[in-house]
Amino acid sequence: MENKVEINASLSIEYVNSSGETPPNGAPPTSSLANKDRADEENDNIDKRSEEKPAGTKFTYHQKATFASAMMASLSNMMAASIISVFYPIEAKAKGMNQTVIGLVFSAFALTAGIGSPIWGKFIPVFGARFIFLAGAFVTGGCNVLFGFIVDMPTRATFTAFSFAIRLLEGLGSSATKTASAAIVAFTFPENVGTAVSLIEMTGGLAYAIGPAIGGLLYDAGGFRFPFFALGGLVLAIDIANFFLLPQQGQKKEESGPLTLVLSIPAIWLALLAVFVAAISLTSLVPTVPIHLKELGFTVLQISFIFLSFGLSYAISSVIWGAVADAKKATRIMMVFGAFGSALFFLFLGPSQLLKIPSTKLLAILVIPTGTVMMGLFIMPTFVDMYISAEWYGVPTNLGVTSIIAGLWNGVFAFGSLVGPLLGGALTQVYGFAYATTIFAGALISVMIVLCLFGVWEYRCGKGRRVPRSRLEMQANTTDEEQVPLIPNDV
């Protein structure tokens, strides 16, 4: 294996030095360096992968245990974070808080999640991915339990202060677990990054959708404290189970990932732009669509079912698109079609005045689940695209890099989720729902155009024709002995 890697490396170096171009289309652009990095990483971690894949199975026990831990953590953490949606505003208003302050309490979670995610991505290799994963869940569960006690605060000021403090801390804990989870899963399933990460995202999305319903039921059954004690206790119980279940991979302390090197890749910024615009557009519908549907004559129960279809169609389609991205690696094409389909979704949802069609119940019922499928097509390939871009530009795909990518992706999505409801509500209030959806459609079309132009540039001037500087520097740093072919040219 080692000899084979050295042969491939020497042959690839001779090709680049002689022609100045990348290997032909039949071979992966990073065939030598990426394979060498992968081989080195496998040799470093061979003691952690003692078990082999049993005959007839696709994944090892190590991979299955890692995935199960991530799924359970995502399920419990997102349910715990979303249970306050139904009953907290009622209690807060009774304490004297106004609607604006209540909204800011909800936004506080997204704020610290957005700030914390890239920070955790940078320091996961330093402190250990397993430690960050478990510690984040412990903080999330503990904050939920503490939130149950704020109802006893004697004044409005203390109730408000502790609401903000606990939600801010909970956002940090949740982002730590989510970022570490994505990093570990991406590192554990290098050939199925899109599928694995999309399944984790689907679990979190469904948990976030059903959390308010569960919170409301528990609130009716036992009052304000009961939902927080129950869900917080569930998070802590699963965290204890994961302490024994989660394999030791990712526990070893390493150097932090090359954040500046990853951010020096233009394709990374393009993917982050797509994630940010997509998150803003998607979450802008949360405060506006219920009012729009109510104006069309839908009942509260019917609106609940439409929102259920909204969440289910996005979650299920995300898994499908993640698997397609893994299989075909055509992430840019998927993002372009996803952006275009999402723009059509917003145009018809309004419906935009540009279409000159009436707004009807049937149109809303047909457009909403279909449109969220397009949003999934736009969002899910971005993570895989960042992973592929980093690998192509010669960045070793180790735990440090997957942590950086996961932190950036989660952080930008969290910031988009913070901006989206505020921007969507403001635009709807000033200009109306149809005009607001037209603006978001225009933003999505703009991103689609940027994607197309960048693809043309990248092929003509970027990775399609020119060896990236990072790969040239790595080749220049290679020792003379490593560059000597193991098989003489005259053989």
pLDDT digit string, tens, across residues 283-295: 888 778 888 888 8
Alpha-carbon span 86 to 234, nearest angstrom: 19
Alpha-carbon span 9 to 484, nearest angstrom: 10
Instruction: Report the range of poorest mean pLDDT among 6-20, 208-222, 353-367.
Output: 6-20
Q: Of the candidates 295, 473, 271, which has an alpha carbon nearest to the alpha carbon of residue 386?
A: 271
Helices (H), 253-360: 259-263, 266-283, 289-295, 300-328, 331-349
Alpha-carbon span 85 to 118, nearest angstrom: 26
Which residue would you say has higher pLDDT here, 285 or 340?
340
Burial 91-111 (b: 16+ CB within 10 A, else e): bbeebebeeeebbbbbbbbbb
Alpha-carbon span 122 to 213, nearest angstrom: 35
CATH architecture designation of domain 257-463: Up-down Bundle (1.20)
pLDDT in tens, 40-52: 444 444 344 434 4
Alpha-carbon span 410 to 111, nearest angstrom: 12
Alpha-carbon span 390 to 3, nearest angstrom: 25
Mean pLDDT of 445-471: 74
pLDDT in tens, 384-422: 899 888 888 888 777 778 888 888 998 999 899 888 888
Q: How confident is the model at residue 32 (pLDDT cuts 50, 70, 90)?
A: very low
At residue 355, does pLDDT exceed 50? yes
Contacts of 39 (CB under 8 A, 6+ apart): 1, 2, 5
End-to-end CA distance of the chain: 21
| DSSP string over 70-134 | HHHHHHHHHHHHHTHHHHHHHHHHHTT--HHHHHHHHHHHHHHHHHHHHHHHHHHHHH-HHHHHH
Q: How confident is the model at residue 189 (pLDDT cuts 50, 70, 90)?
A: confident
Q: Are 229 and 145 in contact (CB under 8 A)?
A: yes
pLDDT at 474: 52
Q: Of the candidates 326, 303, 427, 429, which has an alpha carbon nearest to the alpha carbon of residue 380?
A: 326
Alpha-carbon span 49 to 249, nearest angstrom: 9
Coil, helix or strand for 23? coil
Residue 57 DSSP label? -
**CATH code that applies to domain 64-253:** 1.20.1250.20
Q: What sign has the CA pseudo-torsion 474, 480, 486, 488?
A: positive
Rounded to the nearest 5 percent, the helix, strand and coil shares of the chain are 80, 0, 20
At residue 22, does pLDDT exceed 90? no
Top-confidence range, 65-74, 183-192, 456-465, 476-485: 65-74
Same CATH topology for 64-253 and 257-463? Answer: yes
Q: CA-based Rg of the chain, rounded to a whole angstrom?
A: 24
Domain range annotation of the chain: 64-253, 257-463
pLDDT at 37: 46
pLDDT at 462: 57
Q: How far is CA 462 from the centre of its chain?
A: 26
